[in-house]
Structure formats: structure tokens, C-alpha cells
């Protein structure tokens, strides 16, 4: 209570910020319940099951493929003596630079009936526009989430359990299946939950493939069929599904915290390959995800650009880059500033209220873009004609980005701030530095790498974001993401390739920079 009284103004400011940012979600919950009560039974009788079934199937298949691509490479890199280990770490997360919709567009063009593979080999004949193939393509773009969390979990195991299993005569395979995997399950499934959130948010790829997920249904009923009640029902159900996974994630985090308490970390056991054949096999397994998830899409898109180079309007490209950088910079800057401010308030005035606000803010990333966009449109309509002018403005788009990606900035900044000793604050006070001087001369310099890394990570996500941008963008305002999607849906993939390539290059360089900096400074672990 004393802390609240002492820092009342700071806590009040955080509360106001939290309410302003999260208000649309509370509104759509209320509105969804009202509409769902009247229209749920009618909608459920003929369409709901199909949306639910296809969404769940897509989640399960994408998660399985992601586990296949991620877990074994993480094991090899974590525990085996391997040259260029750090390089492999960076290469294996590079597919995150390729948005899911670009991955799906690329492979559907490559493997389709008129694509390179089926045109070259006439005896091969298959339909690529299926939920199974889509799951495979999504996994190629999303598996780095599982890879990252699995690497972290493996690193926590240390040498104790490895040495113990060796003394008990367990084979390496038995150690992997009976020791490492059980100890790392919570971390692995944390990565899987991140993938689930991305699949629930995905619109461009699933719509192109004709898969009826909740996200596709929201767009369809709101914009195409003008049935806002059904769109709200789907938003409500999607929100419930998301909240379930958020709750599951919190249980896994608690389980992981307990697990860490029991693990005695130490110097990692360095295993050597038992033969050249096993080494070649392992390196092949490591290389496949990177090759399929980054090299092939990049080469394919690049070749399309070269073939159609003189057909492109480069002035339009410059305009798209400016638009993308403009909204990305503004939103990323504001997100980092707000996150840094809130977390600093938490340092000096930590209490249950502050912790609850931060917890609510971190759920924004789990809320699909379609739901965020729809909630803001409904909120402005409810507020009346005096506020409808905000529809189709940069302000509203940036506002949606702030809510959607706040958590991306919170996690690395919070990790860095936790490593700032409290003694620094005491020493600053002894030197008669006021809070502002302490902030500028000590707190910011000590956390500059985390701040910059958070900025870039948010920036990457905003560049790739599609559903929110499609719903809330100003009239005739195109970004690299929206232009790529629109050309692809019009079967003009050759034209979309230039914008895809630009997006991939921008995101790749930023990811490489962040990975290299964070590996050196060790200021950030995972989202």
C-alpha cells in the first residue's frame, strides 16, 4: 500500500495506458456475447462446425510439421560438437523473415499444376491447394518459434542429466527420448503455442488456398457477405479459442518455472558424431528446414524478379517501401517507448495491479489481426458519427499495431531490465541524480541493445502483418504486405515477386543483425 501511495501518479499513468490500449478487446467481448446469444444457434446449425474443424486440423498439422523441422536440429546444435554452430543458429531462424502468405504463394506456384515441378515431370500430378500442403508450407515459415524455445529448454538441462543417463548405460536415442524431451516439453510446447497463435491469425495463405478458418470467415462475412452478426460470432469464438491457448501457455510457464528449479545447469555435454555417415545425416537434417524454408523461396522469388525486371514500376515500389517504413517506424517507436515506460514503472513500483496490466498487454499478440481490426471498427461505430472519421486513418492503424505487438517489445526489454542491479539506483541516488537523470544516464545506456532489438523485432512483425493492415489501412494506402497479397490473389505472382523479395530482404537483414547482437550481448532469450 505504501508503494502505491508513493508512486500513485506513475501507477495511475500505467493504468490509463493499459485501459486505452486494451479497450477494443473488452468491447468486442461484450458485443460478441450480445450478438452470439441471438445468432449463435442459427449459424452453428450449418457452418460453424466446418470453420472449427478446418481451423483445428490446420493447427494440428502445422504444429506436427513444425516439430519435425525444429526439434532434432535443436538437439544436434545444442549437444553436438559442430563447427559454425552460431551460423546455423542464425540460418535456422531466417525463415521467420518470410511471411506465411509469401511462403504459401511461392510453393503453390512452384508445385502447382502449371508449376516447374509438374511441368517438368509429366508423370507427377497432384493438387497442392489442400490443407495438408498448406500446413507444410506454414510450418516452413513458423518452425523457428519451436526451434528457439527448444534450444533454450535444451540449454537449461545442462550436463547433470546427460552424465547421469550415460552412467546408467542409456543410448543417445534413449537419452533423447527419455531424458531430454520430457525435461524440455514445456519449452517445446511454448513454441507450439506461438505457432498456434500465428495460424489463428493467418489470413492471406488460408484464403488463397480456400481453407475455411475462423480468420477467413470473419473477412468473408463482414466484407463480402455483409453479415456482421456472423462475423462477430466468429470473432467471439476465435477469441475464446485464443484465450484457451493463452491459459494453456500460462500453465506451461508455471510448469517450466518449477522444472528450472530442479534442473542443475552446468557445462553442456558436447557429444561427437559416431561416424561420418551420422554426421552427414545430421547436417542434412539441420539444413533441410533452412533450405526449404528460406533458400528455395528466396531463389524462386528472385528468379521471378529477374525474368520480369523490366515490367515493374519501381516508382510504385519506392512508394510501398515508404508507406511500410512510415507506419512501421511510428508504431515500433511508440511501442518501444510505451513498453519501456511501463516496465520502468514496474521496477520502481511493482504491485499486483501493474503486473496484471502488463499481463493483459502481453495477450495482444495472441489476438488475431482480424479480431483486432473488427473490434476497432465496431468501437468507432458505437462511439458515434463524431469519431467515424478515424476509420481508414494512419492513427487507427498504428493504434491497432500498438495493441497487437506490444508483447513483442515487452519480453526482451523486461529480460534486460531484470539484469540491471538495484544497486545502480541506490548509487545514483547517493550521487544526487534525480529520476530523469537516472533514466537517461544509466537505465537507457544499460538497456540500449534490448531497446534496439525490441524495435527491430516489432518492426519485422509490422512489415509482415496482413489482416490488420487490410482492414484498417487508409484508402489507396498500400504496403509491401498488402500489395504482395493483392497481386497473388489476382494470379499475378510474377508481379508480386518484387514486393515479396523486398520484404524478405528487409526482414532477413534485420533478423541477422538482431541475432548477431543478441548472441554477443546475451540480452534476449525468446519471445
What is the DSSP track for 413-460?
HHHHHHTS-HHHHHHHHHTT--HHHHIIIIIHHHTHHHHHHHHHHHHH
* Boundaries of every domain in the chain: 1-30+319-527, 48-307
Check residue 4 and give its pLDDT. Answer: 54
Mean pLDDT of 410-438: 69
SS (H, E, C) 159-213: HHHHHHHHHCCCCHHHHHHHHHHHHHHHHHHHHHHHHHHHHHHCCHHHHHCCCCC
Return the C-alpha cell found at 20.
Answer: 486505452
Decide: helix, strand or coil at residue 271. Answer: strand
C-alpha span between 321 and 307 (Å, rounded)? 22
Residue/partner pairs of 455-458 with CB below 8 Å, 24 or more apart:
455/332, 455/333, 455/336, 455/409, 456/332, 456/510, 456/513, 456/514, 457/408, 457/409, 457/412, 457/514, 457/527, 458/331, 458/332, 458/335, 458/336, 458/405, 458/408, 458/409
If you average pLDDT over residues 59-79, what whole number do you get? 93
Cα–Cα distance between 244 and 302 in angstroms, integer? 41
What is the percent of the chain with per-residue pLDDT over 90, rounded to a whole number? 30
Distance CA 53, CA 43 (A): 15
Whole-number pLDDT of residue 5:
55
Is residue 339 within 8 A of residue 410, CB to CB? The reply is yes
Q: Check residues 441 and 204 and name the one with the higher pLDDT.
A: 204
| Higher per-residue pLDDT: 35 or 136 | 136
Of the CA atoms within 13 Å of residue 60, those in its CB half-sphere come to 6
The answer, yes or no, to whether residue 265 has pLDDT greater than 50, is no
Phi, psi of 69 (to 5 degrees): -75, -25
Which strand (E) or helix (H) includes residue 226? Answer: none
CATH number of 1-30+319-527: 1.10.3720.10
Q: Cα separation of 189 and 149, whole Å? A: 8
Q: What's the rounded mean pLDDT across residues 460-485?
A: 91
Q: How far apart are CA 284 and CA 431, in angstroms?
A: 58
| Mean pLDDT on 484-510 | 89
What average pLDDT score do residues 438-445 get?
Answer: 75
- Average of pLDDT values for 223-248? 79
Quick one: which of 248, 196, 239 has its CA closest to 61?
196
pLDDT per residue over 340-391, tens digit each? 988 888 877 767 778 788 877 877 787 888 888 888 887 777 776 676 777 7
- Phi, psi at 421, each rounded to 5°: -60, 140
Q: Is the pLDDT of residue 525 over 50?
A: no
pLDDT at residue 316, as a whole number: 93
The C-alpha atoms of residue 293 and residue 295 are separated, in whole angstroms, by 7
- pLDDT score, position 475: 85
pLDDT higher at 418 or 414: 414
Looking at 417-502, which runs of residues are DSSP E strands?
A: none
| Residue predicted with more confidence, 189 or 243 | 189
Note the pLDDT of residue 429. Answer: 63
**pLDDT on residue 1:** 54
Round to whole Å and give the CA distance between 66 and 136: 8
Label residue 262 by pLDDT band (50, 70, 90): very low
Average pLDDT of the chain is 81
- Residue 420 clears pLDDT 70, i.e. is over it: no
Give the 3-state secondary structure of residue 80: strand
Give the Cα separation of 512 and 94 in Å (integer). Answer: 8
Between 116 and 506, residue with greater pLDDT: 506
Question: In whole angstroms, what is the distance from residue 416 CA to residue 448 CA?
Answer: 9
Q: What percent of the chain has pLDDT over 70?
A: 83
Q: pLDDT tier at 264 (50, 70, 90 boundaries)?
A: very low
Query: Which CATH number does the domain 48-307 belong to among 1.10.3720.10, 1.20.120.450, 1.20.210.10, 1.25.40.10?
Result: 1.10.3720.10
The helix (H) or strand (E) run that includes residue 242 is: helix 228-262
Confidence of residue 434 (pLDDT cuts 50, 70, 90): low
Nearest to residue 465, comparing CAs of 392, 397, 375?
Answer: 397
Amino acid at each position: 500500500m505504501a508503494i502505491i501511495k508513493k508512486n500513485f501518479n506513475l501507477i495511475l499513468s500505467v493504468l490509463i495506458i493499459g485501459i486505452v490500449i486494451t479497450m477494443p478487446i473488452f468491447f468486442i467481448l461484450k458485443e460478441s456475447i450480445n450478438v452470439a446469444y441471438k445468432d449463435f444457434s442459427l449459424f452453428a446449425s450449418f457452418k460453424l462446425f466446418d470453420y472449427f474443424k478446418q481451423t483445428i486440423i490446420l493447427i494440428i498439422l502445422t504444429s506436427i510439421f513444425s516439430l519435425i523441422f525444429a526439434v532434432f536440429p535443436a538437439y544436434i546444435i545444442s549437444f553436438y560438437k559442430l563447427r559454425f554452430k552460431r551460423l546455423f543458429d542464425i540460418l535456422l531462424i531466417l525463415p521467420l523473415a518470410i511471411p506465411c502468405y509469401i511462403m504459401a504463394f511461392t510453393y503453390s506456384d512452384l508445385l502447382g499444376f502449371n508449376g516447374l515441378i509438374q511441368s517438368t515431370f509429366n508423370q507427377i500430378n497432384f493438387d497442392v491447394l489442400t490443407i495438408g500442403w498448406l500446413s507444410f508450407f506454414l510450418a516452413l515459415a513458423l518452425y523457428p518459434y519451436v526451434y528457439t524455445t527448444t534450444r533454450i529448454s535444451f540449454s537449461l538441462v545442462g550436463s547433470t542429466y546427460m552424465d547421469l543417463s550415460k552412467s546408467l548405460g542409456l543410448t543417445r536415442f534413449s537419452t533423447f527420448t527419455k531424458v531430454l524431451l520430457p525435461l524440455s516439453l514445456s519449452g517445446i510446447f511454448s513454441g507450439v503455442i506461438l505457432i498456434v497463435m500465428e495460424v489463428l491469425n493467418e489470413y492471406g495463405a488460408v484464403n488463397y488456398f480456400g481453407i475455411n478458418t475462423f480468420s477467413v470467415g470473419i473477412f468473408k462475412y463482414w466484407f463480402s457477405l455483409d453479415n456482421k452478426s456472423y462475423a462477430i460470432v466468429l470473432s467471439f469464438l476465435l477469441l475464446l479459442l485464443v484465450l484457451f491457448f493463452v491459459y494453456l501457455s500460462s500453465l506451461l510457464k508455471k510448469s517450466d518455472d518449477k522444472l528450472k528449479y530442479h534442473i542443475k545447469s552446468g557445462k553442456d555435454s558436447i557429444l561427437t558424431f559416431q561416424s561420418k555417415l551420422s554426421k552427414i545425416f545430421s547436417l542434412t537434417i539441420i539444413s533441410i528446414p533452412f533450405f526449404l524454408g528460406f533458400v528455395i523461396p528466396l531463389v524462386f522469388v528472385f528468379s521471378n524478379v529477374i525474368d520480369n525486371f523490366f515490367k515493374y514500376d519501381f516508382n510504385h515500389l519506392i512508394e510501398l517501401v515508404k508507406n511500410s517504413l512510415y507506419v512501421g517506424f511510428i508504431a515500433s517507436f511508440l511501442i518501444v517507448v510505451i513498453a519501456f515506460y511501463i516496465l520502468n514503472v514496474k521496477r520502481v513500483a511493482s504491485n499486483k495491479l501493474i503486473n496484471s496490466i502488463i499481463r493483459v498487454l502481453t495477450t495482444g499478440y495472441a489476438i488475431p489481426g482480424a479480431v483486432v481490426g473488427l473490434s476497432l471498427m465496431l468501437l468507432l461505430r458505437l462511439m458515434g458519427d463524431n469519431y467515424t472519421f478515424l476509420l481508414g486513418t494512419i492513427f487507427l492503424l498504428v493504434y491497432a499495431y500498438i495493441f497487437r505487438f506490444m508483447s513483442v517489445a515487452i519480453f526482451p526489454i523486461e529480460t534486460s531490465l531484470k539484469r540491471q542491479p538495484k544497486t545502480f539506483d541506490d548509487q545514483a541516488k547517493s550521487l544526487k541524480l534525480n529520476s530523469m537523470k537516472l533514466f537517461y544516464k544509466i537505465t537507457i545506456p544499460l538497456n540500449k541493445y534490448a531497446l534496439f532489438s525490441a524495435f527491430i523485432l516489432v518492426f519485422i512483425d509490422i512489415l509482415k502483418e496482413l489482416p490488420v493492415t487490410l482492414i484498417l489501412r487508409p484508402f489507396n494506402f498500400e504496403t509491401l504486405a498488402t500489395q504482395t497479397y493483392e497481386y497473388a490473389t489476382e494470379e499475378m505472382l510474377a508481379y508480386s515477386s518484387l514486393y515479396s523479395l523486398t520484404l524478405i530482404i528487409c526482414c532477413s537483414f534485420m533478423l541477422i543483425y538482431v541475432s548477431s547482437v543478441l548472441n554477443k550481448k546475451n540480452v534476449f532469450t525468446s519471445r
